[in-house]
Structure 1
Amino acid sequence: MEISFKGKRALVTGASKGIGRDLVIQLVQCGADVVAIARSSELLEKLKKDAPSIVTLPLDITNWKETKEALEQIGPIDLLVNNAGLAILEPLTDVSEEHVDQLFDINVKSLINISQWLAEQLISRKSPGSIVNISSQASMAGLKNHTVYCATKGAVDAFTRAAALELGPHGIRVNCVNPTVIMTDMGKLGWSDPKVAEPMLQKIPLNRFGEVHEVVDTVLFLLSDKASMITGTCLPIDGGYTAV
């Protein structure tokens, strides 16, 4: 199945590494013009060497006003992937107000802000569009020492469903994907210890963690016209973890 985004402009947050980085490269290969957002100018420049056609935008998306002002300068966008995210893992009894604010600012508040900006733009242009939010299996199952992270991803799922309802009449689709542990560089580092990995693997029917391309491929499908009748869905990419 061939997917083409020729003539479309896509915006990806958290684009400098991991899933976001590979997603930018694949979008370009599928013909999209891409705007890549991340905090690190240095990492964005490294990404641009691999995808010279992209526009890079160093930005702290937790700042509501500055984000809106920066987005107004990039021109029309058709496709959005809210990929930026933060995980701070700790027992509930150790959670601080600072960590709650950090997690919700990045995982929820910035996602709402950028989605609102795109929705307003698409509606004013009377143009269809597609938004994909990167959630987590942590929204669907309680995970030890993930309390606040789980709460933020539950908010992402709820926002996705509500936004799909509101924006559907305008031809704007909103979906999210809910990956398990994915073997990014950070995932490999955090889950390399068999003592840590094995209890999770035992709960995954496919008995392995996910690969980056498995998330990227799913996101590309949901962004594309191949998924033209899909909106408001939260799709696990978890090897069956949440099914059982």
Structure 2
Amino acid sequence: MTIALPNTPSFDLSGKRALITGASSGIGLACATALARAGAHVTLVARRGDQLKALSDAMTAEGLVSDVLPLDMTDIPALADALLERPAFDVVVNSAGLARHTPAIETKAEDFDAVFSLNVKAAYFLFQLAAQKLLDAGKAGSLISISSQMAHVGGLDRAVYCASKHAVEGFTKAMAIEWGKQKIRVNTLCPTFIKTELTASTFADPEKREWIESHIKLDRIGEVEDLMGAVLYLASDASAMVTGSSLKVDGGWTAE
């Protein structure tokens, strides 16, 4: 008897174009590197043009292909102009985000607006614009938000941040339903606390670090490398049947 073995889906992104926001540091930089090493031409987006140029130069030195797009994601007209003048992106990873942590009773309207402007409004219209280009081109695509474990739980001093990430999970599901027949997949990647320059002050506080470590069942802080395989999975054909989902890379935080 002859048994036909199934083929493992490909993680190869050769010939694909990927746009990564928040690419100048931390999680965004790691995601951009992962997709570039898988063969994608990556467009690096952030406000800090000098950081983007340095990253692009480092990629070029490794034989990777990239270009830079200095942009404030909250400027929706500028974002629209930038995407409309470019071919459709096969992969979009939105890693741009903002957190302003305070007790809920002390939340200021300007902080609420700033967090929602970037984490929700800019993310929503980025995906709308990217999907429109894919629909016009008749192409499949993968749209990925770097969300958070806090999109599934609550946390002290994080009412605004949690609300914004719960909102991202909501529009992710709705967009996945709306664009599924056109083979445009929409998912979130939900990390735990990851060691980056933005979280350095949090980890430097012994009380906060103890609280974090007490919730991570794998008993260690997350590293950006922990997300690179996950984002490649969601970007590639390996996840061809995955949409409207949240991939949690949280060390077991939300298992409680």
RMSD of equivalent CA atoms? 1.3
Of stretches 64-73 and 11-20 in structure 1, the one that deviates more from structure 2 is: 64-73
Q: What is the TM-score normalised by the length of structure 1?
A: 0.96
* Residue aligning to 1:10: 18
The CA distance in 2 between the partners of 1:235 and 1:75, in whole Å, is 28
TM-score for both structures, normalised by structure 2: 0.92
5+ long unaligned stretches in structure 1: none
Give runs of aligned pairs for residues 70-109 of structure 1, distance below 5 A: 70-109=82-121
1:213 pairs, out of 225, 233, 238, with 225
Report the equivalent of 1:65.
77
Matched, 1:49 2:61: no
Shift of 1:75: 2.2
Q: CA deviation at 1:185?
A: 2.6
Given candidates 154, 163, 183, the residue that maps to 1:151 is: 163
Contact 1:25 1:50 in 2 (8 A): no
Match of 2:203 in 1: 191
Alignment correspondent of 1:27? 35
Q: Counterpart amino acid of 2:135?
A: I
Tell me the equivalent position of 1:161: 173
**Structure 1 residue aligned with 2:244:** 232
Higher mean alpha-carbon deviation, 65-74 vs 216-225, is at 65-74
What corresponds to 2:213 in structure 1? 201
Quote the Cα distance in structure 2 between the aligned partners of 1:240 and 1:26. Answer: 23
1:222 corresponds to which of 230, 234, 245: 234
Give, in angstroms, the shift of residue 167 of structure 1: 0.8
| TM-superposed deviation, 1:178 | 1.1
Do 2:141 and 2:183's aligned partners in 1 also have CA atoms closer than 8 Å?
Answer: yes
% identity of equivalent residues = 39
From 38, 41, 45, give the equivalent of 2:46.
Answer: 38
Q: Is the 8 A contact 1:132 1:176 kept in 2?
A: yes
The residue identity in structure 2 corresponding to 1:116 is Q
The structural deviation recorded for 1:195 is: 2.4
- CA drift at 1:213: 1.1
Q: Is contact 2:12-2:38 (8 Å) kept?
A: yes
Deviations 1:142-195 (A, max 9, x none): 100011000000001111111111110100111101111011233344213332
- Alignment partners' CA distance in 2, 1:77 and 1:108: 20
- Structure 2's unaligned 5+ residue stretches are 1-7
1:85 counterpart SS class: coil
